[in-house]
Amino acid sequence: MHATYVTVTIVAALFTGLAAGTYLTGHDYPKAQADMKRLPRSWVPRLGLCLAAGALGLLAGFAVPLAGVLAAAGLVLYFVGALIAHLRVGSRQLIGWAVFFTTAVAALVVNIAHL
């Protein structure tokens, strides 16, 4: 179980950290997504900070297990909000969302089990 916990947590932190990097470096994809979802572009860096905090929180969970659980729960809520934003504008492009959401849920499950 410990190997699963470590692997899933690292994969979730990696995925989330890479997404945060695209949001924080001014990549065109997050800007296009914000435009498609009719969100202000000023939100893009803030959303990137939320993703970065989630990734760092998952890694901090190795030292403080409760931090990992809270970070994973926060990421699950973040991606529920992303789903709502997609559905609000009628977007059915949910494959990327599903990958990130599933990874966040898996991280939450293994972090709770490890706690």
pLDDT digits (tens, 9 = 90+) for 3-61: 999 999 999 999 999 999 999 999 999 999 999 999 999 999 999 999 999 999 999 99
Q: Name the residue ranges covered by the structural domains of the chain.
A: 2-114
Place of tokens 């609000």: 88
Measured CA to CA, the distance from residue 20 to residue 14 in angstroms comes to 10
Output the pTM of the full model. Answer: 0.94
Measured CA to CA, the distance from residue 25 to residue 84 in angstroms comes to 25
Contact (CB, 8 A) for 71 and 61: yes
